[in-house]
Amino acid sequence: MKLIIDTNVLISSLLKDSSTREILLNESIDFYVPEIILSEIKKYLPYIAQKSELSEDDVKKLLNTHMENLHLVPIDEYEGKMDEGMNIIIHNS
């Protein structure tokens, strides 16, 4: 199975030990995330550490564990296809 996740899902899995975290660590699922997700996580790292009651180092370790099961998608692979994607969503809703 292949799934695309966004920053909110990944942050949620970093904040608490939950079913979201368990699912993201499931190696039978291929997860795809936009490459930009790393800069967004870095931006909110202090907040994530505070809310999760983990040290920033522990959050980084957990993120690295997640990254073993995440496929980064470079922005140039989808940047010019946003309109096409929105049209598909609108017409299939």
* DSSP single-letter state for residue 55: -
Domain encompassing residue 35: 2-91
Total domains, the chain: 1
Return d(Cα 40, Cα 9) in angstroms, integer: 12
Look at the pTM and tell me if it is higher than 0.85.
no
pLDDT given for residue 53 in this prediction: 95
Q: Helix (H, G, I), strand (E, B), or coil: what is residue 13? A: helix
pLDDT tens digits, 37-52: 999 999 999 999 999 9
Query: Across 1-93, where does the E strand assignment appear?
Result: 2-4, 30-34, 70-73
Distance of CA 9 to the CA centre of its chain: 6
Domain of 61, CATH number, reads: 3.40.50.1010
